[in-house]
Amino acid sequence: MKTFAAAFLSLALLSSGVAEAATAVSKSKTKASSGQTRKVKSVVVRKAAPVIAAVPTFGQVAGLHAVDDPLSLKSSVAYVLDQDTNEVLFSKNPQAVLPIASITKLMTALVVVEAGLSLDEKITVTSDDIDTEKNTRSRLAVGTTLTRGDMLHLALMASENRAAHALGRNYPGGLEAFVAAMNAKARSLGMVDTHYVEPTGLSSRNQSSAADLAKLVNTTSQMPLLRDLSTSREARVALGKRLVQFRSTNGLLSNPLWDIGLQKTGFINEAGKCLVMQASMAGRKLIMVFLDSSGSASRIADAERMRKWLASQGDNATVSTKL
């Protein structure tokens, strides 16, 4: 009986073990079917972004950046003129004819003001003012209506392309007559290296030289309205029901070391970074031109180098470097 009992007990234990094992396998299958499996971290392989070569500026193509200057300027063209004496204090590639980008808007403003058109007249942005040259954006939506004075302000201070184009389009005779007036004014100022094809500067066919631009700055800096509008740091403009704040494109206006009477910045790929100014410094009224500068803040850095150099030279500042 003891032997039979023992055998029966062993058989019972064996059956129990098999049942537990079967139960474990069943639970494992159930977990697998319910998705409770070990998670494997996936790795997403992304393709590298294609490298797009930078578009060279006209100055780079012409080798103008290879010309050395004592200040190691990033601008391939630089020109500083004493406004009262016409003495050239610094000159680097002054006759090089290059795209001038939004420096164009100084001539746009000059033609508008000299035409005696009402600054209170309302002008509406249309689809004709959309940039199809560089496909740049604008905060002035089609249908926006502003006074000619506001358009002029935004064109000079914030370099608003649609504002500048609308100004030209609303000139007596239209855009074609306006561009003709721009070129006629350039000729009257003796700007022999200058040519315009539109009023914004988006076209690389708007071209000039530093020496010519100095003549334009000299003329426009003597007009109080253009001085005030170009050196305005910011302005709030009512666009429909919203008040939208626009700011100057020239950070030097907020620098207390500078006394700027008139300024304009410019940029398109073909022109590089550009800057023209009329500024008072050490008792002198100076005209400064920087074209085809490489680097996001290089034109400002070049202007600072020039200011420090002029301050150190005093009345002895005269440097000429020509291509």
Rounded distance between C-alpha atoms, residue 160 and residue 153, angstroms: 9
Q: Is the dihedral of CA 22, 24, 30, 32 positive or negative?
A: negative
Nearest partner of 182 among 243, 239, 255, 108, judged by Cα:
108
Nearest partner of 107 among 35, 38, 206, 28, judged by Cα:
206
Amino acid letter for position 92: K
Are 220 and 262 spatial neighbours (Cβ–Cβ below 8 Å)?
yes
39 classed as catalytic: no
92 classed as catalytic: no
Are 192 and 95 spatial neighbours (Cβ–Cβ below 8 Å)?
no
Q: Which of 74, 105, 264, 273 is catalytic?
A: 105
105 classed as catalytic: yes
Q: Which of 75, 76, 91, 159 is catalytic?
A: 159
Rounded distance between C-alpha atoms, residue 304 and residue 243, angstroms: 34
Q: Which of 76, 102, 208, 298 is catalytic?
A: 102
Nearest partner of 273 among 261, 284, 265, judged by Cα:
265
Q: Which residue numbers are catalytic?
A: 102, 105, 159
